[in-house]
Structure 1
Amino acid sequence: MDLAPASSLTLTLFLSLLFPLVAPHNITKMLAQLPDFSTFNDLLTQTHLAADINSRSTITILAVSNGAVSSVSDEPIDTIKKILSLHVILDYYDDNKIHKISNHTAILTTLFQASGGAAGQNGFLNVTNMENGQIAFGSAVAGSSLTANFVKVLATQPYNISVLQISSVIVPPSLSGGASSNQSTKPPASSPTPTAAPKTAPAPRSSPTPTAAPKTAPAPPTAAPSEAPSEAASPRASDAESPSGKTDDAPAPSGAPASAGIDGSPAGAPSDNADAPEGDGGGKSAADRVGAGVVGLAVAMGFAMLGAL
């Protein structure tokens, strides 16, 4: 029995079963025809994501231009791989399908999620049909913003692969601290705790400077009590009555000769009653001299009476 026809048939069936498992597309060759996406294409090759994309039969790639991808091109290659794997959707979306998203929003599974390296919702994308007809993309993590917009379709092989251009790179929040993106948000700067100013010891109180007692001006020298004014000179004439019963102080009638002094000296001659110069005791009045004489007479009479006894 000839087994050759049977062997050929078996080989043909085997190849036909194996062929559907081989993807009919090559992402590297597709992007090579688009110079504006050369950097994105090179990064897919360096991270080995191109081989993973080519091994899948149904897939959508969200490609970014050279200028947009430069925001993450300086990151470590492992970080770049995680970021770009978020741009590979495990389903087919072309222009028509993406504009007909039910309920205007959908959560899409990506290659980042399939790799097992995504935590929580970091491996999912949120795609929303905005009210103005724009299609926006962003991380599916709660609170994340839609940071990229659909631009245009770059290439398609219906129902196997679709390459869509978006405006910017989408960075999952778990990587936003280590990669530049317009999605990353800086934590609010905490206000610095006010540092209490060091307490300074109070300055010692200076003892009050003793104030010198005001110098009192020396008391003006007390004026020596002026000597009591000398007694008014008593009348030059004697207090004895003149024979006419008038005192010597009475002015003599005009034309009459001046009366003689008490000692019989002619008028006009200096008498003993004249005031002596000041300071020699001659300024005593005649009455004082008379009093002194009476006292002396009384003393003398007293001694005489004692002698008589």
Structure 2
Amino acid sequence: MASSSAAAVLVCLLLSSAAIAVLAFDVKEILAPEPDFSSFTKYLTDSKVADDINGRKTATVLVLDNSAVAPLAGLSAAQLKDVLTVHVLLDYYDPDTLHRLFKNKSAVIATLFQNSGHAADDNGLLNYVEKADESMYFGSAAADASPDSELIKVIGARPYDLSVIQVSKAIIPPAVAGGSDASTSAGGNATSLAPKAGVDTATSASSDAAAAPGPAGEKKASSAERVVVVGTALGLAMAMAVFGAL
């Protein structure tokens, strides 16, 4: 009887571990086969922002190719991390979900910088707009900024967990670009996500996106994803073997 109980516990642990593994993703695995994004990938890695992304359940990363990263080169380490986290949206988006979710063709979207609690005013938020020709743009929601970074294409995605999208230019909030402190003072509160007039706020795109078709041009699973799937299969096989031995 005791051996049966122990076996049941072991099976539960194996299945739980397998389920957790399936949820994991790695933004660097998506970007690794793309040499045009090597500089941005290095910035994500060196700043540890890649680890922050991989620790999330959902994220959309706005990435720059090597020809567009020059504005990041002169930033301090702290400024660079702030800017990189501005390029990480807290939910899953691709062109289809953006077009479908935001009926007003505009939205205020929270970023990882906003989520840190360090962003002052609207420095941690992005404005999104879709123009009449269906082109899509992002930009800082801070005062005196405009959405002028165009969505170019989807680099890779795992619906509805991780989306990696190329944009045309770096999004640098004015407070960071001006060299001033973009963070709140100690004990300060992050800006609330109050809706602006005529603008949607994005807080639950992934749950709504779950019923939508996958993005066009979706890539095959990365090598890391194939590894966790294999690991899951091995876990299930081990569980079956334990039951068979009872």
Tell me whether the two structures share a fold, i.e. TM-score over 0.5. yes
Which residue number corresponds to residue 142 of structure 1?
143
1:16 Cα shift?
3.6
1:60 Cα shift?
0.5
Change (3 A) 1:125 1:16: farther
Q: State the secondary structure of the residue aligned to 2:179.
A: coil
Which residue number corresponds to residue 8 of structure 2?
9
The 5 A counterparts of 1:21-60 are 21-22=20-21, 23-60=23-60
Q: Sequence identity of aligned pairs in percent?
A: 37
1:131 Cα shift?
1.7
Change (3 A) 1:174 1:19: farther
Which residue number corresponds to residue 264 of structure 1?
none
> Deviation string for 1:113-154 (max 9, x for gaps)?
111110111111110111221101111123321120010010
RMSD: 1.7
Alignment coverage as a number of residue pairs = 178
Query: Which entry has the higher C-alpha Rg, 1 or 2?
Result: 1
1:4 Cα shift?
2.6
Matched, 1:133 2:172: no
> Deviation string for 1:67-112 (max 9, x for gaps)?
1112112321111110010000010011211222221101111100
The 5 A counterparts of 1:156-305 are 156-178=157-179
Gaps of 5+ in 1: 180-309
Which residue number corresponds to residue 99 of structure 1?
99
Distance 2:170 2:7 in 1: 51
Which residue number corresponds to residue 188 of structure 1?
none
> Deviation string for 1:172-220 (max 9, x for gaps)?
12101139xxxxxxxxxxxxxxxxxxxxxxxxxxxxxxxxxxxxxxxxx
Which 10-residue stretch deviates more, 129-138 or 19-28?
19-28
Distance 1:171 1:73 in 2: 12
Q: State the secondary structure of the residue aligned to 1:102.
A: coil
Q: State the secondary structure of the residue aligned to 1:75.
A: coil
Amino acid at match of 2:99: H
Amino acid at match of 1:157: R
Q: State the secondary structure of the residue aligned to 1:71.
A: helix
Amino acid at match of 1:102: K
Q: State the secondary structure of the residue aligned to 1:169.
A: coil
Q: State the secondary structure of the residue aligned to 1:56.
A: coil
Which 10-residue stretch deviates more, 109-118 or 4-13?
4-13
TM normalised by structure 2 equals 0.68
Which residue number corresponds to residue 272 of structure 1?
none
Which residue number corresponds to residue 76 of structure 2?
76
The 5 A counterparts of 1:110-121 are 110-121=111-122
Distance 2:174 2:20 in 1: 35
Change (3 A) 1:19 1:91: farther
Gaps of 5+ in 2: 181-246
Higher relative contact order (CA 8 A, sep 6+): 2
Q: State the secondary structure of the residue aligned to 2:148.
A: strand
Name whichever structure is richer in helix by fraction: 2
1:12 Cα shift?
2.9
Distance 2:179 2:94 in 1: 32
1:8 Cα shift?
2.7
Q: State the secondary structure of the residue aligned to 1:145.
A: coil
Change (3 A) 1:126 1:20: farther
Which 10-residue stretch deviates more, 15-24 or 139-148?
15-24
Structure 1 runs of 4+ aligned residues shifted over 6 Å read: none
1:13 Cα shift?
2.1
1:15 Cα shift?
4.3
